[in-house]
Structures are given as structure tokens and as C-alpha cells.
Amino acid sequence: MSLTDGYQMNNGLTIPKVGFGTWQAKDNEAKQSVLWALEAGYRHIDTAQGYNNEEEVGEAIKESGVPREEIFLTTKLHNKKHGYDNTVEALNDSLRKLDTDYLDLVLIHWPNPKYFRDNWKEANAESWKAMEEFVAAGKIKTLGVSNFLPHHLDALLETANIKPAVNQILLNPSEMQPDVVAYNTEHDIINEAYSPLGTGKIFDIDELKELAEKYDKTVAQLVLRWSLQHDFLPLPKTVTKERVFENADIFDFEINADDMKVIDGMTGRAGSATDPDTISF
């Protein structure tokens, strides 16, 4: 297995099994980290309209020398841009900022932002309709969601013509969201893991340090490998060059079943998922 190996999505296309995240990476940090990621062999780059770094990510892709068709590029719809007209405007804006003719994957970032709390179901349906039209026009290849719980997905599927291929959710040893993961798996939706390193909090767990030492790996490498062995798709994020390369070195070992159970038992040790129905943004 390598960074370019992929999962087959429910539309028949392939998504690389490990992506590179850019959340909280601003300006030159975002650009430089994506350049390092592409140098390290990542071919799956994840950004969002809400990250305010699409232009920098696009610049890095252009300057990397890696052909665009070799890169799987994801962005996400801003919480203020739900609804048909808003979504059309936002998607065209993302294409312009990322300086690309098409997007490999577009996600609705949150199912129930505060701006649409009274009509979230209708707003998501309208956004999805616009996104489906971009697929028909060849400007988007795959559609998905983020932070959706089963009741949000049930609502979306009432009107969707294209089934979501990906649900990007918080997944790490501290938060495994078993009900959401089971729903996604049952509906042939890939479980994509954001903050797979728990925004750094997992590094304070002594048992993980001991296990990492046992496998002669870093805690980050151990946890990313754990994610892959659960068939999750992790999106590690770092703006440190050494760690960009380090986090890619996760394919030369396997965690045994007993140690997987130990890691599975760390629920709540480094934070938990935010309730998407009560977010304040």
C-alpha cells in the first residue's frame, strides 16, 4: 500500500486512501505545506471555502509540477452559502480561486449551520441540486458531505439523485462515532477522517506513546495506521516539513489485533465530535 492507493467510491471512481489536510493553515503556510505534501507523494489535497486558503492551495498545485489529473482535490461548501443560488456562486468562486477546471470532490461542510437552522433540510437539498448540475457539466466529479449524522443523510437522500460518496467526520482514537460509521458503511459511503490526530491532543496519551515505541514509529504514524486498518481515510494536517514526510511513512508495519483494541478503548481521551445541530457558525 502507498499514498497513491485508493478506495473505490460508490460512483466507480477512486479516492486516495490518505489525504493531506489544510484546516487552520493560512496564507503561505498552506501553500508551502501543500508543496511539501506533493513532494512527499501525497496526491489527495483537502481544503474548504471556510479555510480561506483555496487560492494558496491552488498556487501550490500549479507550482508543484504534478499534473492536475494526478491530484485528487476536495473543497467544501461554506456554511453561509447553502441554497441553490448561493451554492452556484460559491462553487464558481472555488473553481476560480483554486484555478482549476474541475473539482474531484465537493462536500457540504456542515448539515445544519446557524444561518439555515430553520430550513436546513431544504437548504441542503437545494445546494445538492446545484452540485449535481456541476457534476453534469463536468465541473465536479464526486459529491459528498461532512459532519452529517444519519438523520441528515436520510433527509438528503429523499431528494438526491446522486448518493454521497464520502462523509468526512471527526474520527480518531478518542472519537470513533460508531453509529455514523456504521450508517456510512451500510450505505457504501466512505468514512473520511478529519483531525485523525485529534488536533494534537492524542500526543498526550501515554499508552499511545508506549505503543508507538513498540512499533518503532511516532504516535502520529501509529494512529494514522490505526485509521487505515479501520478502513477510514485519514487527512493528517501539519505545516512542519519533517512531519509532512513522517506522516506519509505508515505503510511498512501493521498493528496487531490486541493493540488495535487498546487504541479503540481510548474514547473521550482527547476530545469528541461537535453536535452539528447546535453549532454556532
pLDDT in tens, 131-164: 999 999 999 999 999 999 999 999 999 999 999 9
Residue 147 falls within a domain, yes or no? yes
**pLDDT band at residue 266, thresholds of 50, 70 and 90?**
very high
Rounded-to-10 torsion of CA 183, 186, 189, 191: 60
Q: Residue 210 above 80 pLDDT?
A: yes
**Please, are residues 100 and 73 in contact by the beta-carbon 8 Å criterion?**
yes
Residue 280 falls within a domain, yes or no? no
pTM, two decimals, is 0.97
Could you read off the pLDDT of 181-195 as tens digits, one per residue? Answer: 999 999 999 999 999
Element housing 141 (H / E): strand 140-146
Question: Domain of 179: which CATH number?
Answer: 3.20.20.100
Q: Residue 280 above 80 pLDDT?
A: yes
Residue 125 falls within a domain, yes or no? yes
Segment 89-97 mean pLDDT: 98
Residue 269 falls within a domain, yes or no? no
Res 201: pLDDT: 87
Residue 272 falls within a domain, yes or no? no
Positive/negative CA dihedral, 63, 65, 67, 70? negative
Residue 235 falls within a domain, yes or no? yes
Give all strands (DSSP E) within 4-136, no chain letters. Answer: 6-8, 14-16, 20-21, 44-46, 72-77, 103-108
**pLDDT band at residue 199, thresholds of 50, 70 and 90?**
confident
Residue 169 falls within a domain, yes or no? yes
Q: Residue 27 above 80 pLDDT?
A: no
Could you read off the pLDDT of 221-231 as tens digits, one per residue? Answer: 999 999 999 99
> Binding site annotation covers 44?
no
Average pLDDT for the chain: 96
- Between the two ends of the chain, the Cα-to-Cα distance in Å is 38
Domain containing 184 equals 6-264
By the 10 Å C-beta count (0-12 exposed, 13-18 middle, 19+ buried), 210 is classed as: exposed
**pLDDT band at residue 1, thresholds of 50, 70 and 90?**
confident
Which residues pair with residue 8 across a beta bridge? 14
Helix H segments across 113-270? 120-136, 150-157, 178-186, 206-214, 219-229, 241-246, 257-264
Highest mean pLDDT among 1-10, 28-37, 139-148: 139-148
The total number of structural domains in the chain stands at: 1
Res 111: pLDDT: 98
Res 50: pLDDT: 96
Active-site positions?
51
Residue 60 falls within a domain, yes or no? yes
101: nearest Cα among 131, 75, 71, 68: 68
